[in-house]
Structure 1
């Protein structure tokens, strides 16, 4: 079941039903599997519970480091970086996502590299660095095409590129 009902056309934030997210949080409870921990982190983040999400994301990174695969650890680190971003620490999030993207690309994990780059693009977008964001989204599009991603994922990236172009144009007109 997807909790994402779309993306805000101005911020690129996920549009979710808070009641549905809270219900899922209650279902998961305090399960300790890495998958359930990561899902809880994401749900807390989209609900705006960033303090609790940060604590849990740090735990999930430690858990993945001890008991998971390299891919598991990268997923946990990427999600942790998105929580850091949600808290406004763009430089720290950007650095972590850069490291994750480089490692994923070095391993040939195109889909995971695209995931990291998409989020790094969102960090740049939030920091009003639209050219950097556009560059990351373009690379994400290429990697998603390379990995055979579904059309819906490609469309989301194309919309992000278009939004960056519009923001760059607005910024140029304003200055």
Structure 2
């Protein structure tokens, strides 16, 4: 049985859409990080997105686990021109477009960004790659809200709208089984 432990990076405290911007995480809650590390399997390999909030979170929970190179395909949704804007600011730019992106995700894109379907394809490819390379191991993936939602959607056969209904807290764990078929074991667990 192969398991993926999807960990959302530590909080950034940003109040805007943070996608590919390299904003650091607040990792000052060392007790929460220790609980998280203790909860995760010791024999797992650890991989993260290449953004510092994920990289630094992965380093904080790595322990003696094997660390894999960072993977840019595990990044958050690329918000394009909406990057670092609050919802109201992006809505003022193009109200119909932002509502379509969040309410009926699929092929709608932020200007110069990527759609839900593009995010799913990118993250699925990265997860498949790491799972194939480490088929007999548990895998810890330290990533982002959107990237984690893509894998929940995959495991539960959800469309984007249903996937976005899930809450994913910072430093939470979502555990998926990949064999014999994909399924969610737990979502948004806070150890």
| Larger helix percent | 1
| Larger strand percent | 2
Q: TM-score, normalised by structure 2?
A: 0.26
Q: TM-score, normalised by structure 1?
A: 0.28
Q: Which has the higher contact order (CA 8 A, sep 6+)?
A: 2
